[in-house]
Amino acid sequence: MGKGGLVSAKKKIAMLAALSVAVITVIVSAFFMPRTTEKNFFAMNTVCNVKITGKDSKTVAQELEKTVVGLDENVLSRQNENSITARLNLNGGGEIDEKLNEYFSVLLDVCQKSGGSFDFTLGKVSDLWGFGGEAAVPNPYALYNELGHTGYENIALSANSVTFEDEFAVDFGAAGKGIALDSIRENLGKSETKEAVVSVGGSILLYGDKDFSVGIRNPEGNAGSYVAILNIPEGCVSTSGSYERFFEQDGKQYHHIIDPETGYPAKSGVVSVTVVSQSGILSDALSTACFVLGTEKGMVLAKEYGCETVFIDENKTVYVSDGLRDRIEITDKAYTFSE
């Protein structure tokens, strides 16, 4: 073999080696690259969606589903007779752990500060309306009778127990989705997740070091149509709207958010309220409370908790709290900002 042949053989080997290094690098980095997993499931009487980017995102997504389903079935559900809440309702209270104590105390505080517009003892009143099943306007006497068995003031909470009237039905329906978001964030914090967007019905967790775009649903449109876009950093966003659950009877619409004073669907002129908070339970509970209170009183309440809000009223007017003014854009021309 001549000198030239030796050089070209050496060159070939070097090129092959370089190619192998490049291939190995691509394979290795693809292996370690954050992956995105998307998943839908049903829990808390609603559709949940998980979108996660990070290491082991598939496993993390599965764990999150387990967490939400477990929280629903074992703790918060009224329908599952073995859940803690169902057992508390059956026995007029009982022993509770630290987490449940926290839920009760946060929600009792919202009941008080909202002047009773939020009341999570309305379970049996909601049952009478039949939302989620065969909904119909209830008999007024039956409604009046069940209203007599409500009232957060009658809940006595201590460090490890809670007691209330036997006839009461505590209902976490207005805050459970937010409670789920808080648990999810705890899980994500222990994982190597870079970014996540998790929705549990109308409550959404934004997780990661960036700004996220969140659409505010068109109250008159379908699930994919929006009236405004929020551009906000990580946190929780909950929306309560009369479009979420309703039925029609004799030409009138009845929705699922009840005014605790009357037992009938709240008529505050509001069709949708969005609350932004670092706390999931607060964003969810306050969106329901603000819906009942209406724009003016609702804004004051949310401010007391340091939360930001977007209210949409029946006239398609959009009211935005100070902290969101530069972070919202109306995308549907039928809607306008308030003066």
Binding site for ligand AMP (CB under 6 A): 118-120, 122, 126, 131, 171, 173-174, 202, 240, 244, 256-258, 260, 284, 287-288, 292
Contacting Mg ion (CB under 5 A), which of 146, 171, 195, 284? 284
CB of 173 to Mg ion, least distance (A): 8
Which listed residue (83, 85, 288, 321) binds Mg ion by CB under 5 A?
Answer: 288
For Mg ion, give the closer residue by CB, 218 or 272: 272
Q: Which helix (H) or strand (E) holds 303?
A: helix 295-304
Residues 260-294 as b or e (16 or more Cβ within 10 Å = b):
beebebbebebbbbbbbbebbbbbbbbbbbbbbbb
- Give me the least distance between CB of 18 and ligand AMP, in Å please: 59
Owner of token pair 């394979």:
27
Nearer to Mg ion, 268 or 287 (CB): 287
Site mask, Mg ion, residues 216-245, x = CB under 5 A? ------------------------x-----
- Interaction partner, residue 126 (ligand AMP, Mg ion, none; CB < 5-8 Å by kind): ligand AMP
List the end-to-end C-alpha distance of the chain, in Å, as a whole number. Answer: 89
d(CA 167, CA 125): 11
Q: Which of 251, 252, 226 has its CA nearest to residue 239?
A: 226
Helix (H) or strand (E) holding 249: strand 246-249
What is the crossing angle of helices 176-190 and 280-293, to 10°?
160
Is residue 287 within the footprint of Mg ion (CB under 5 A)? yes
Cβ-closest position to ligand AMP: 173
Exposure of 91 by Cβ count < 10 A (0-12 exposed, 13-18 middle, 19+ buried)?
Answer: exposed
Written as one letter, the residue type at 97 is D
Of residues 137 through 176, those in contact with Mg ion by CB under 5 A are 174
Q: Residue 294 touches which of ligand AMP, Mg ion, none (CB < 5 to 8 A by kind)? A: none
Interface residues with Mg ion (CB under 5 A) are 174, 240, 284, 287-288
